[in-house]
Amino acid sequence: MPLSRRSILLAAIVAAAPLFAALPAHADALDDILKTKVIRIAVPQDFPPFGSVGTDLKPVGYDIDTAQLIADKLKVKLELVPVTSANRLPYLQTKKVDLVISSLGKNAEREKAIAFTAAYAPFFSGVFAPAKTAVKSAADLKGKTIGVTRGALEDLELTKIAPEGTDIKRFEDNNTTMTAFLSGQTELIATGNVVAAAIIARNPPNKPETKFIIKESPCYIGLNKDEPKLQAEVNKIIVAAKADGSLSKISQKWLGQPLTGDLPS
Amino acid sequence: MVQFTFWDILRNLLLAAQWTVLLSLIAFVGGAVVGLIVCVARISKNPGPRWAARIYIEVLQGTPLLMQLFLCFFGLSLIGLNVPPLAAAAIALTLYTSAFLGEIWRGCVEAISKGQWEASASLALTYPEQMRYVILPQALRIAVAPTVGFAVQVVKGTALASIIGFVELTKAGTMINNATFQSFLVYGLVALLYFALCFPLSLLSRRLERRLNVARAS
């Protein structure tokens, strides 16, 4: 039953999309933030190490630290809004948050709906499975069962590249996807490098290894379209944070390695 | 990674269970009040309210609660109404519960045999009097079991409110699970807590049924 509910939900979002576009442009988001001295940022809570929870159920992680960094630089108070991958864009589009820092990848479909700032974190998506599973490319997925988180970038990409006869099982959040893989319900898992790293760190019997990379997609901060001032301001903060090493420090803390290479801006 | 002790997990789940209880209470109370109105409209002799109630029930029963929540929270913001999450949840849960309760109670009222209506009419009782003294007391007894059955479903259905940002029992379980990776322990506790909420409802139902039967016997 949850399956059909979600499909209807997705249909509703798609149907509602023109409504979002029809909204009249109103006051500049940056002005509002500076005036109210509060920035509302959507962060994940089901996606360690980007966003997870501490013992007090408050969000912690790479994305939360990045959010804090931006709030500090803007000299405003940070209000964290925990979201899931299914509702993070509606939160932004209905202006319930100012920014989405939720390990958000960039793609053409999303670019139609929202705007992005420069990348702030490294990320790639791949297909992972135990060594004994013989899969080298998307074509080998035929007849195999693969788990993926619904609405995540891997879901969109996998749906495109998987051959007919692939049994794609979609789960509501990353952790369910992970649990399904660990318990053997799915033979393969399509997910991000960091999730795979978390699985490997736990040393399960069906220890996954990278079979092939679906897509390299660094994380961007999402914001509403037509907010050039906010976009420019956040970009300035990211560039400065990359230059002075504060972003690298966050990376070291949560991903275990400093920022390497160039993140696209 | 953050270390959760057993106490941390239990404490957070109990805190989250408060939301489940509150959302359930809102759904019961709001749903019962509106549901009664829907039920009365649904069995009305006047076709206007009868059809209005029929459409109301069909629309709300035919669409998923998840979507109703979604539309109440995000949909209303689209047309410029900024509803806080609690209000959105209250509206959606009340609408949903009232549609089901209205229909359940209609069935209970209509289950009372026609003879009861005719007999009470022959005693010159008016429509409200027939309802109050003859039909509703009997319908009430039939209604207890399905109503409680549905109430238990509503308790579990409140988990859907996490889509609009509520950290209720299920959501808290998911969050803690992916910070601790102790799925069996966390979800086991979540299930136990749901049971602790729903089982007393079933007990209450059994007691109510017995008491209402005694009332008939005496």
pLDDT at A254: 83
Are residue A85 and residue A169 in the same domain, yes or no?
no
Q: Average of pLDDT values for B66-80?
A: 88
Nearest to B176 among A4, A53, A93 (CB): A53
Q: Cβ separation of B178 and A16 shorter than 8 Å?
A: no
Question: In chain B, which residues have their Cβ closer than 8 Å to the Cβ of A57?
Answer: 12, 15-16, 167, 172, 175-176
CATH number of the domain within which A80 lies = 3.40.190.10
User: Quick check: B213 pLDDT over 80?
Assistant: no
DSSP A120: E
Is B70–A9 a contact, with Cβ atoms under 8 angstroms apart?
yes
Kindly determine whether residue B183 and residue A173, on different chains, have CB atoms separated by under 8 Å: no
The residues in A 146-165 lying below 8 A from B, measured between CB atoms, are: none
Do A34 and A147 lie in one domain? The reply is: no
pLDDT tens sequence across A86-140:
889 999 998 899 999 998 888 888 898 999 999 998 888 889 999 888 888 888 9
Say what the pLDDT of residue B109 is.
93
Lowest mean pLDDT among A138-152, B48-62, B110-124, B204-218: B204-218
Whether residues A62 and A175 fall in one domain: no
What does the pLDDT look like over B150-184, one tens digit per residue? 999 999 999 999 888 888 999 999 888 878 878 88
| Interface membership of A185 toward B (CB under 8 Å) | no
Average pLDDT over residues A51-57: 86
User: Which among A100, A101, A108, A220 has a CA at the least distance from the CA of A160?
Assistant: A108
From CA A243, how far away is CA A224, in angstroms rounded?
26
In this structure, is residue A99 part of a structural domain? yes
Give the pLDDT confidence score for residue A17 in this predicted structure: 52
Same domain for A43 and A73, yes or no, is yes
Residues 6+ apart with CB under 8 A from A162: A138, A141, A146, A168
Question: What type of residue is A253?
Answer: K
Q: What pLDDT does A15 receive?
A: 56
Which CATH number is associated with domain B6-217?
Answer: 1.10.3720.10
For residues A148 and B35, give the distance between their C-alpha atoms in angstroms, rounded to a whole number. 40
For residue A128, give both structure tokens: 């992972």
Phi-psi region of A51 (alpha: psi -120 to 50; beta: other; left: phi over 0): beta
A180 domain residue, yes or no: yes
Whether A230 maps to a domain, the answer reads yes
Do A118 and A224 reside in the same domain of the chain?
yes
Q: Which residues from B are below 8 Å from A87, CB to CB?
A: 70, 74, 163-164
By C-alpha distance, the chain A residue nearest B176 is: A53
Count of other CB atoms within 10 angstroms of residue A119 = 21
ipTM for the predicted complex comes to 0.72
Q: What is the pLDDT of residue B54?
A: 94
Q: Which pLDDT belongs to residue B58?
A: 95
**Same-domain check for residues A199 and A184:** yes
Residue A157 lies in a domain: yes
Task: Count chain A–chain B contacts defined by CB atoms under 8 A.
Answer: 88
Asked if pLDDT for residue A203 goes beyond 80, the answer is no
| pLDDT for position A262 | 64
Higher pLDDT, residue A196 or B150: B150
Q: Is the Cβ pair A16, B75 closer than 8 Å?
A: yes
- The number of domains in chain A is 2
Residue A9, pLDDT above cutoff 60: no
User: Does A247 share its domain with A118?
Assistant: yes
Task: Say yes or no: A39 and A94 in one domain.
Answer: yes
Cβ atoms < 10 Å from Cβ of B71: 18
Query: Are A85 and A153 members of one domain?
Result: no
Which residues does residue A40 pair with via DSSP β-bridges, in sequence order? Answer: A79
Interface touch B77/A94, C-beta < 8 Å: yes
Same-domain check for residues A160 and A223: no
Sequence-distant (≥ 6) Cβ neighbours of residue B180 within 8 angstroms = B4, B9, B186
- What DSSP letter does each residue of A152-203 carry, written as one string? SHHHHHHHHHSPTT-EEEEESSHHHHHHHHHTTSSSEEEEEHHHHHHHHHT-
pLDDT averaged over every residue in chain A: 84
Residue A10 located in a structural domain: no
Residues A175 and A210 in one domain: yes
Q: Does residue A19 register a pLDDT over 70?
A: no
Task: Specify if A38 maps to a domain.
Answer: yes
Mean pLDDT calculated for residue range A241-259: 84
Q: What is the mean pLDDT of chain B?
A: 90
CB contact under 8 A, B77 and A12: no
Instruction: Quote the DSSP letter at residue A47.
Output: B
| Cβ-proximal residues to B175 (8 Å cutoff; 6+ apart), any chain | A45, A46, A52, A53, A57, B167
* Residues in chain A within 8 Å Cβ distance of B8: 55
Cα separation, A95 vs B116, in Å, equals 57
- Domain range enclosing A204: 124-216
User: Is there a domain that residue A18 lies in?
Assistant: no
Where residue A27 falls among pLDDT bands split at 50, 70, 90? low
Nearest-Cα residue of chain B relative to residue A43: B165
Cβ atoms of residues A251 and A62 within 8 Å: yes
What's the pLDDT band for A24 if we cut at 50, 70, 90?
A: very low
In terms of pLDDT, which residue wins out, B82 or A120?
A120
Please state whether A20 falls in left (phi above 0), alpha (psi between -120 and 50) or beta.
alpha
- With bands split at pLDDT 50, 70 and 90, how would you rate the model's confidence at A13? low
Tell whether A2 is covered by a domain: no
For residue A19, give both structure tokens: 């409504």
Q: How confident is the model at residue A2 (pLDDT cuts 50, 70, 90)?
A: very low
Choice among A182-191, B53-62, B78-87 with the minimum mean pLDDT = B78-87
Residue spans of the domains in chain B: they are: 6-217
Do A142 and A68 lie in a common domain? no
- Judging by DSSP bridges, how do beta strands A77-83 and A38-44 pair with one another? parallel
